Structure 1
């Protein structure tokens, strides 16, 4: 099987991350999967953004949990990346899902719950409820650095795939895998290059695989997937190494 190319926050290297522009670019580049992050606004909306604050990627300031959806929608999420994309807005989970449905996307949708620094009370139930009430054509995969979020979601949606994120310490990931909660690991590529032979036989989707040499390494070893900021480049390298 071909190693799947999963676009990290969309085509993060070529478009403003975690915007509809980035997700559309990833689809246009032939990505097999989309990886993104979800938080909770002050008024209980599921918001797509990586950081806990809006400072880095928008023209605003403050924590997502302290801002309403209306306040978040007034922010510009494209200008700081490139003036060409000025006016891009902060999307909700539903807006991203609707885009993928409109584009007939049938690949992997990897949703990371950003609960390792701020735990949003009830976010697991809100995410589970959303997908329980929306039929989607793609494969849903949940991941998190916070093991309890995975456990809570697993109790609510036991049929969904769960993968564990980690940078160096994998004890929680191994425990969840042993308990048949987690099917795969999403480790840092730097860690993988040093330790991957020590891991049990699980699905490996390393992040963030942006260098050509790291892409070739993952393709040669037939990892399940690569999470990358450059899905277009990853696709071109995969054709050279794996033939497709």
Structure 2
């Protein structure tokens, strides 16, 4: 089984994260999958960004939930990373999906609902409705640190894979797996390293796997996937690793 390379927020290590330019770069680098994060704007639009606030990755301030789509679209989401990406815009979920469709992307699209800090009312229904209304060529995977979002999405779309995110404790993830709500785990790489002698024999896609030695560890153990800021580097290491074995 080939360990799949999933680009964390696009090619986050080489482009401004969670932007169309980052997703294009990830596909060009050979990523098997794209991981990204979704929030809800004040006027009910599905917004792609990691943080609950826009401050870190744009020239704006405030919570996404307090800003309209028009306000979010005026923000510069690229110059914080490098002046070469000035005027890069904040994408919506539809912007990203349309890009992937145009790129004929058929890999994994891992959408994380960022509901563990702000429980956006109705976001699970909006996400499920969106994909019910849009036929996509890629494999959709939902994940979240917030168990209620995972459970809600599983009820709404039982045919879509759901996975549990965690950083240190897997008690809730274990329960969701036992209840057949989630198929696998997306644990922190640090947790994997600490527990490698007794890793559960289920589908694992650790995050964020950026060190070459951690990439090789995951390839050697044939994990289902790795979530990495550097999909291009991971692709090269996987090619070399396969050539050696």
Q: TM-score range by the shorter chain?
A: over 0.9
TM-score (norm. length: structure 2): 0.98
- 1:5 Cα deviation after fit: 0.2
- 1:196 Cα deviation after fit: 3.3
In 2, Cα distance between equivalents of 1:60 and 1:200: 42
Cα displacement string for residues 150-191 of structure 1 (whole angstroms, at most 9, x for unaligned residues): 000100000000110000110000000001111110000011
Cα displacement string for residues 124-155 of structure 1 (whole angstroms, at most 9, x for unaligned residues): 00000000000000000000000000000100
Cα displacement string for residues 108-134 of structure 1 (whole angstroms, at most 9, x for unaligned residues): 000000000000000000000000000
**Are residues 1:54 and 2:92 paired?**
no
RMSD: 0.9
Q: Which residue of structure 2 lines up, in the alignment, with residue 82 of structure 1?
A: 82
| Runs of at least 4 residues off by over 4 Å | none
In 1, Cα distance between equivalents of 2:33 and 2:151: 23
Secondary structure at 2:34 match in 1:
strand
In 1, Cα distance between equivalents of 2:24 and 2:205: 22
Gaps spanning 5+ residues in structure 1: where? none
Q: Is residue 38–residue 50 contact of structure 2 (8 Å, CA) maintained in 1?
A: yes
Q: Which residue of structure 2 lines up, in the alignment, with residue 166 of structure 1?
A: 166
- 1:25 Cα deviation after fit: 0.2
In 2, Cα distance between equivalents of 1:189 and 1:77: 28
**Are residues 1:223 and 2:241 paired?**
no
TM-score (norm. length: structure 1): 0.99
Q: How many residues align?
A: 244
Q: Where in structure 2 are the equivalents of 1:1-244 lying within 5 Å? A: 1-243=1-243
Secondary structure at 2:195 match in 1:
helix
Secondary structure at 1:21 match in 2:
helix
In 2, Cα distance between equivalents of 1:200 and 1:42: 40
Gaps spanning 5+ residues in structure 2: where? none
- 1:39 Cα deviation after fit: 0.0
- 1:200 Cα deviation after fit: 2.4
In 2, Cα distance between equivalents of 1:180 and 1:196: 24
In 1, Cα distance between equivalents of 2:74 and 2:194: 44
- 1:50 Cα deviation after fit: 0.1
